[in-house]
Structure 1
Amino acid sequence: MSWIAVTEHRAQLGEGPFWDVPGQALYWADIAGRQALRLTGSGLQAWQLPEPVSAFIPCERGDALVTLSSGVYRLDLDSEPQAPSLTLLCVADPQAGNRANEARCDARGRLWLGTMQNNIGEQGEELPVRQRSGGLFRIDADARVTPLARDLGIPNTLLWNEDGTQLYFGDSLAGTLYRYSIARDGQLEAPREWFGPHPRGVPDGSAMDTEGYLWNARWDGGCLLRLAPNGEIDRVIELPVSRPTSCVFGGPQLRTLYVTSAASRFNHPLDGAVLAIEVDVPGTRCHRFAG
């Protein structure tokens, strides 16, 4: 496999890649660099934000959501990159000392947001996670917040099966990917361990392909694992970065796999880059926020 970097930009902590099918654009965030980034045919745009940002997701009404430490905000995409116009949508997690981490929209356009103890210092440095203070929340188009889980360490991976009855969810602090059944009232049933600790790093973000296989980025593992629906490893995909953080399928046919990454102590040339490669099996599409 021959990976390429899609831009010269290098993130401190790249995360949350989102491929917007209507706009044919790639969105992602640099959490520690406090940037929301969008790559289109016209080039790269980077909005500089006042707080760490973990996700950047377009909305049906034409603006976008950014998940910041202090809440979920709407970002006016026509505002100046150095002076972004932000409007508070909601505060999903009122727990002091927490920040947003993983965020994705389900097929109904509802935002699911995982939070965690803040581990980003004032200068963007990495701090240890010492407590399980995080939670999982669902945010509807009208900004109504529904708590779904608590006592989480480092929430990563939010994906659903085809009919939306199962949630795949990871906790990097536990080194484990779980599967939840979603009850009729929208609440989560007790989690079941789906893929446990593995020598190649810990689970970070993931993408789903049309065959129902989950592609999981392995933080500190330098690879992706393609996992079968039964939780077995189908293949290991080696990467030219130390800390891959997440992935998404994009491009006109959803056959381009994009991988975000973070800086590392190894200072590999591509650490922090967004990588891309063409794959044989297309992925499932991302969903905009319905509001």
Structure 2
Amino acid sequence: MPLTAVTQHRARLGEGPFWDAPTQALYWVDIAGKQALRLIGNNVQIWQMPEHVSAFIPCASGDALVTLSSGVYRLDLDSPGLEPRLTLFCIADPQPGNRPNEARCDAQGRLWLGTMQNNIGDNGEDLPIERRSGGLFRIDPDQRVTPLLLGLGIPNTLLWSDDGTTLLFGDSLDGALNRYFIHTDGNLDNAEIWYGPDQNGGPDGSAVDAEGYVWNARWDGSCLLRLTPDGKVDRRIDLPVSRPTSCVFGGEDLKTLYITSAQSPRNHPLDGAVLSMRVDVPGKLCTRFAG
């Protein structure tokens, strides 16, 4: 499976890939570089954010959400890259010193946002994580914010079962992906370990394919793991980057896997690139924010 970089752009900390099928556009972010990026065809658009940005998700209303350190904002996609027009939508996590990390929309178009202690300095340098101050929040289109989990370290991966009754959600500080039963009132049951620590790096972001297999990016593992629906390793896909961060299925047939990555001390030439590769099984569609 040949891998290629889709653009010349190299992120400090690439994350949050989102494939928008109606416009055939790839959205992603550079958290440390404070950039929200969109690729349509061969055209890359970059919006320079005033703060660290962890997710860039189009909305049903035609604009997009960006999750910044100070809150969730709407971004006018017609605004210029160096002067983005931002409107505060809500503050999900009021905890001082936290920043957003993982964010995705469920099948109802509600945003689920995981936060953590900020570990990025003003110049993009790494800061130590000293506390589990993060949380998981659900944000409805009417701006209601519902806290679901607290005391998180590094939230990563947000995937739901087809029937909406279970959530796959990880904490990279524990090296585990956990499964949660979702009660009818929307609250989460206790965590069950679905895939625990291994020797392939730490769990980062994930995507799910049409067969229900989970493709998990392994930070510092230079690979993806394709995991069976019951949490066993189906295969390992080696990558030419040190720190893959997440992945998403895209393309007209949803058989192109896009993989974001971060810079690393190893300085591999493709570190920070968005990679693409063709796969045999299509993925599942991403859902826009319903607001």
TM-score, normalisation: structure 2: 0.99
| Distance in 1 separating the partners of 2:283 and 2:160 | 13
Q: Secondary structure at the match of 1:39?
A: strand
One-letter amino acid of the structure 2 residue matched with residue 73 of structure 1 = Y
Any idea what SS the aligned residue of 1:22 has?
helix
Equivalents in 2 of 1:85, 1:47: separation in Å?
10
Q: Is it true that 1:79 corresponds to 2:69 in the alignment?
A: no
The count of residues paired between Structure 1 and Structure 2 equals 291
Matches within 5 A, 1:65-76: 65-76=65-76
User: Quick one: distance in 1 between partners of 2:226 and 2:77?
Assistant: 34
1:142 maps onto 2:134 in alignment: no
User: What is the distance in 1 between the residues matched to 2:128 and 2:194?
Assistant: 26
Post-superposition offset of 1:130: 1.2
Q: Distance in 2 between matches of 1:86 and 1:225?
A: 37
| RMSD over aligned Cα atoms | 0.5
- The residue type equivalent to 1:64 in the other structure is A
CA distance in structure 1 between the partners assigned to 2:143 and 2:120 by the alignment = 26
Shift in Å, 1:128: 1.3
1:1-33 CA deviation, whole Å, 9 max, x = no partner? 210000000000000000001110000000000
Q: What is the alpha-carbon distance in structure 1 between the residues aligned to residue 284 and residue 42 of structure 2?
A: 25
Match of 1:101 in 2: 101
Q: Which runs of 4+ in 1 moved over 6 A?
A: none
**Paired letter, 1:222:** S
Aligned AA for 1:60? A
Q: Does 1:255 align with 2:289?
A: no
Aligned partner letter, 1:279: V
Length-normalised TM-score, structure 1: 0.99
Specify the alignment match of 1:128 in structure 2. 128
**Displacement of 1:42 after TM fit?**
5.3
Residues 140-179 of structure 1 mapped to structure 2, 5 A cutoff? 140-179=140-179
* 1:174 Cα deviation from its structure 2 partner: 0.4
3-state DSSP of counterpart to 1:230: coil
Offset at residue 126 of structure 1 (A): 1.1
1:278 and 2:278 aligned: yes
* Percent of matched pairs sharing the same residue: 71
d(CA) in 2 for partners of 1:219 and 1:56? 21
Q: Quote the Cα distance in structure 2 between the aligned partners of 1:162 and 1:255.
A: 19
Matched, 1:205 2:205: yes
Query: Which aligned pairs between 1:50-61 and structure 2 lie closer than 5 A?
Result: 50-61=50-61
Structure 1 unmatched runs, 5+: none
After superposition, the C-alpha distances for 1:186-211 in whole angstroms (9 at most, x for unaligned) are 11011100000011110000000000
